[in-house]
């Protein structure tokens, strides 16, 4: 099966610019931005709190909509052909706070640290903060947010 191809953006890796970009989030936006940036010659590192790149495409969207293997092959192409480095299970934040999906991360990197060590930082974190609608009982045990429900179904 063919993966989601990023090589359509460029046929070969261009000459390096010497610029380093950190992307926070390895979902659709983060992976697409990585493809665009490496095709302009920038070094790209991607930080994500999930165990592997793909975001909602991998962990939430049903298989019949987007085949998981295609997402994995696209992420692998970025890594092997364009030298994108992934930092999975890594939450990027500045202040301590809890978000949905926090059970997946194992280490924390401060946003200020990324800002000091990279020429640019792109935040492509998706929809981790699901809004509750504020009606009585929406926080009771067993009540799931839409994101939790989709994770559970998949």
pLDDT score at 4: 58
Distance CA 99, CA 96 (A): 10
Nearest alpha-carbon partner for 19 in 93, 110, 121: 121
Work out the pLDDT band at 128, boundaries 50, 70, 90.
low
| pLDDT of 113 over the 80 cut | yes
pLDDT score at 95: 83
Q: What is the pTM of this model?
A: 0.82
The tokens describing 3, both together, are 């993966």
- More confidently predicted of 67 and 141: 67
Q: For residue 52, with 0-12 CB atoms within 10 Å meaning exposed, 13-18 middle and 19 or more buried, which class applies?
A: middle
Mean pLDDT in residue range 27-55:
94
Mean pLDDT in residue range 60-70:
88
- More confidently predicted of 135 and 15: 15
Distance CA 149, CA 154 (A): 9
Most confident of 5-19, 64-78, 132-146: 64-78
pLDDT in tens, 3-32: 556 655 677 789 999 999 999 999 999 999
| pLDDT of 49 over the 60 cut | yes
What sections of the chain are H helices per DSSP?
A: 28-38, 56-59, 68-82, 111-117, 146-153
pLDDT score at 86: 98
Distance CA 103, CA 94 (A): 18
Tell me the domains of the chain and their CATH numbers: 20-153 (3.50.50.60)
- More confidently predicted of 115 and 143: 115
């Amino acid at each position: 099966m063919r993966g989601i191809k990023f090589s359509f953006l460029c046929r070969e890796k261009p000459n390096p610019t010497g610029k380093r970009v950190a992307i926070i989030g390895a979902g659709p936006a983060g992976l697409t931005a990585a493809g665009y940036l490496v095709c302009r010659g920038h070094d790209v590192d991607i930080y994500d709190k999930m165990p592997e790149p793909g975001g909602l495409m991998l962990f939430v969207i049903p298989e019949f909509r987007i085949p998981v293997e295609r997402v994995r092959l696209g992420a692998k192409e970025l890594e092997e052909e364009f030298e994108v480095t992934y930092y999975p299970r890594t939450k990027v934040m500045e202040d301590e706070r809890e978000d949905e999906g926090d059970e997946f991360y194992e280490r924390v990197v401060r946003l200020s640290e990324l800002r000091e060590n990279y020429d640019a930082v792109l935040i492509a974190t998706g929809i981790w903060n699901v809004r509750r609608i504020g009606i009585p009982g929406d926080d009771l045990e067993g009540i799931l947010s839409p994101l939790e429900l989709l994770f559970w179904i998949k």
